Each structure stands twice: as structure tokens, then as C-alpha cells.
Amino acid sequence: MINSFSSAAVFFALSIAMLSSCSSDLGGGNPISFDDGFQIYLNGSRYNGSGVIRVEVYNNESRKYDYMDIGEVRDGFGKLSFPASISDKYFHALRNEFPNSVTISPTNARGTSLVFFYVISRDDAYFLKAENNNETEFIEYRYIAQVTTVGGSETDFGINIQYKVNASEGWNAFYVSCTRNFSTCNASEKPSTVNLSGIKWLMEYEGNSLNFGGSDR
């Protein structure tokens, strides 16, 4: 499960899921890789299995989640490889996600909702997240349709969230660092926002893969 404060502290809030569907219309072009490979952990131990990494992204036309394989896991090591572009049916106005205390430039900037990752291994689906041991630092991903800056702050669920984000057009990794009591969080596109050496990719069993786009076989 995502930690309890995550919906407030991540770069953008996630739209509520309705129904799910599997799709191959998520993108095209040359794939973009963020990682050279990372060890995955399950129940505190190194994972040694294999499968695919699947992204879950909200489709604003069908009002469902679509799924696409964007990476693989071999002997416990994962690698992400995003499509270079995606359909605009996954975009919505970013301005609608923030109070007036947060500035969005340009004001008509669009992008996806926050995307989630799953490891699919045969009939099993595992939620995949990148965070440190005490859940105060983590990495989130989303696609932004144009160069966009986000600044200012908001307070949500008692957490003061400071945004200093310069997002590129395309897929972006966003780094979030919070104080130990979660009173303040800082979100940025800069990896130096977090201690990368303390970030681990963690799996948690989520259920049958049929609910997350089907088996990888």
C-alpha cells in the first residue's frame, strides 16, 4: 500500500479509479529509459524473480485505468523503458489540481495523473514503489505535455508541501523529501532533493494480475 500521507505529499494528486482496462495505445516512438537497472525487494529481502513492469495511467475519455508494459524484471533486477510519447486522452489541466497558492506556468499546462507501477509475474501482481526505509523520501513519475514550472506551496492533511519543479516535456521523475514528522515536504525534479543511495524499489503483493492488465504470459 502507498503510505497514508502519499496522496497529499506527492507531486500531484491521483484521480479516483473507476474501472480498469488493458490498452496498447499508450504511446509510441523511441523508448526512454530512466534507470540502468535496480534491485527489487519483497518482504525485506532481495527479490530474485522475473516478470514485466506495468504502468497504470488514467484515461480521461473512458474514465478507466489503462495498462502498458514499460519495463522488465530479470532475476530480481528491474529496468524502466517508457514510450517517447502518449495519447492526449491521458492529459488533463494541471491547474485544476492546485489551490491558488501554487503557481503553474503556463497556466494551460497539461499532463497525466500520477502513474503507478506494478510488477506482473504470471498470475500475480505486485505494487512497485521507490522510497527510503522510513517512507520520508520517494520518487514519482508522470508525463507532462509541455515544459512546465510549478512553484509555491499548499497545506494538505496538515502537511506543508513546497513545490520547486521545472518539468520537461515528456516523462518526468519527481523527487519528494519530507521531514520525519511529515510536517513539510519538498517536491522537485532534481535528484539531489532526496538521498538516492537510500531509495529502494519495493514490491508489495496486490492481487491477481487479471485486475492489472492480465498475465505477462
Question: Is 105:172 a contact under the CB 8 Å cutoff?
Answer: no
Taking CA atoms, 78 is separated from 29, 58, 72, in Å, by 21, 23, 6
Domain that holds residue 183: 6-212
pLDDT of residue 86: 93
In a domain, 74, yes or no: yes
Supply 19's cell numbers: 474501472
In a domain, 122, yes or no: yes
Task: Please identify every stretch of the chain with a pLDDT value under 70, giving residue numbers as ranges.
Answer: 1-36
Q: What percent of the chain has pLDDT over 90?
A: 76
In a domain, 189, yes or no: yes
In a domain, 217, yes or no: no
pLDDT of residue 29: 40
In a domain, 1, yes or no: no
Question: What pairs with residue 38 in β-bridges?
Answer: 78
SS percent in the chain: helix, strand, coil, step 5: 10, 50, 40
For the chain, the domain total comes to: 1
pLDDT of residue 35: 54
